Amino acid sequence: MNAPAFATGILAGLFWLQAALSPAPAQKTITVKNQLGINRTSETVSVTGPALTAMVKQYGADNIIIKEAASGKVLLSQAIDNNSDGTVDELIFQTTIPARATQKFFLTGDKNAANLKPQAKRTTFGRFVPERIDDYAWENDRVAFRTYGPVAQQLTEARKPGGTLTSGMDAWLKRVEYPVIDKWYKKNTDKTGSYHEDTGEGYDPYHVGDSRGIGGIGIWDNGKLYVSKNFTSHKTIATGPIRTIVELTYAPWNANGSTVTEKKRISLDLGSNLSKYEVELKSDKPLPNVVIGITEHDKKGKAAADQKTGWFRYWEPMDDSELGLGVVLDPKQVTKYEDHQVPEKDQSHVYVFVKPQPKALTYYAGFGWKKSDQFSSVQEWDAYLKNFAQRLASPLVVQVN
């Protein structure tokens, strides 16, 4: 080898070694585009991929911050370990972005991040509730939900009081922005009050019983609905200022001769009236459909839908107020919907029939309570669902470079 070639080889090796040992870039630019002709409020922006991985490795997840490029303002953010392997794989923050607009943010690391990050004024929350049998409850600044665990099922099957046998989803009607789950359960446990009575924060008048509640699922076959029982295990994935996530597993159940296994991942973002459901259903035989249900209670309400864009709702009286329930999903997954009214208690529903999915079925379900002052009419609730469906069909375009 001649001297110039040898020197070039050494230099190339040194450059390679320097690149390999160099720290990750101190800052990345996040470009967010809204392609819709509507303003988007409290939109969650998700950052994943190699840039985030390198930043977390260099600075640690707690030291990653998001800044507005224009102002330099540090935004509230939340790091999430979605697969519970001990490594953060997603960073989320929220923005309000005008129609057809583009915004820029900086992803960076700072050892002083704890002092730079703003305090959350509002939050999401979720937890297992063993003191009330074994509910799982979750909430944000606008809505709250719960569903039921194995002890509640065991009490019912043993014909003992206090049990609940259902995989339906319950709605807790709140009209304050701060968390209420711990407070409401505590007064119920201490016998100092009841979450079935509204003392100014809201209450739980919503009846689930043997129904799907708001967003429970089943299989419709040969004129009958087949459903799972209560969840058998739970796993809290995240609970934080922007998003709470829980994973629920159910015992295998029978759907007209098919053995079905079910797992749900439920998440709720700050500012949203709808929880996100990612449901994995596996069966030893092909399933004819999956049905998402909205309970119609005493059938005094009114159903409506726009199957073409993917939203479905029921608006009903609720004590001295009114309540809107809704489901939104990709319309390509939907085969039909039905305003199913029957004499049997808890069996009248708005049913959304969906094609079985090879992986997870994703949909959103939730409510708007008139007394919360979030929605004053059924027209406003319909507009919210329409807007939600538009945003779902055209997600924000996020680029990191």
Residue 249 has pLDDT above 90, yes or no: yes
Range 95-108 average pLDDT: 98
pLDDT at 266 > cutoff 60? yes
Q: Where does 298-359 show beta strands of DSSP type E?
A: 302-306, 311-318, 321-328, 334-340, 349-354
CA 234 to centroid of chain Cα atoms? 15
Average pLDDT over residues 219-245: 97
Q: Which helix (H) or strand (E) holds 392?
A: helix 378-393
pLDDT at 82 over 70: yes
Please name the residue that has the structure tokens 């608006």.
315
The pLDDT value given to residue 26:
77
- Coil/strand/helix, residue 27: strand
| CA–CA dist 61, 87 (Å, integer) | 9
Identify each DSSP E strand in 119-273 by its residue range: 125-129, 135-139, 144-147, 170-174, 202-203, 214-221, 224-226, 231-239, 243-255, 258-269
pLDDT confidence bin for 24, thresholds 50/70/90:
very low
Domains 22-119 and 125-396 share a fold: no
- Closest Cα partner for 36 from 270, 401, 387, 334? 387
The region that residue 171 occupies, defined by phi over 0 for left and psi between -120 and 50 for alpha, beta otherwise, is: beta
Cβ atoms of 46 and 276 closer than 8 Å: no
Q: What is the average pLDDT across 329-344?
A: 98
Please compute the mean of the pLDDT values over residues 245-259 and round it to a whole number.
98
At 303-328, the pLDDT tens digits run 999 999 999 999 999 999 999 999 99
Percent of the chain at pLDDT exceeding 90: 93
Question: Is the pLDDT score of 349 beyond 50?
Answer: yes
Give the E-state strand segments of 72-174 in sequence order. 74-75, 77-80, 90-97, 102-109, 125-129, 135-139, 144-147, 170-174
The 10s digit of each residue's pLDDT in 162-214 is: 999 999 999 999 999 999 999 999 999 999 999 999 999 999 999 999 999 99
Q: What is the mean pLDDT of the chain?
A: 93
| DSSP run (H or E) holding 378 | helix 378-393
- Report residue 29's pLDDT band, with 50, 70 and 90 as the boundaries: very high
Which CATH number fits the domain 22-119, given the four candidates 2.60.40.1180, 3.40.50.300, 3.90.1580.10, 3.30.465.10?
2.60.40.1180
| pLDDT beyond 50 at 270 | yes
Mean pLDDT of 148-155: 96
Domain residue ranges of the chain, discontinuous segments joined by +: 22-119, 125-396
Q: Output the pLDDT for position 25.
A: 52
Instruction: Give the list of residues 6+ apart from residue 138 with CB closer than 8 angstroms, or none.
Output: 124, 125, 126, 127, 144, 145, 146, 181, 244, 246, 266, 268, 275
Fold adopted by 125-396? Beta-galactosidase; Chain A, domain 5 (2.70.98)
For the segment 122-127, the average pLDDT, to the nearest whole number, is: 98
The tens digit of pLDDT for each residue in 2-12 reads 433 333 333 33
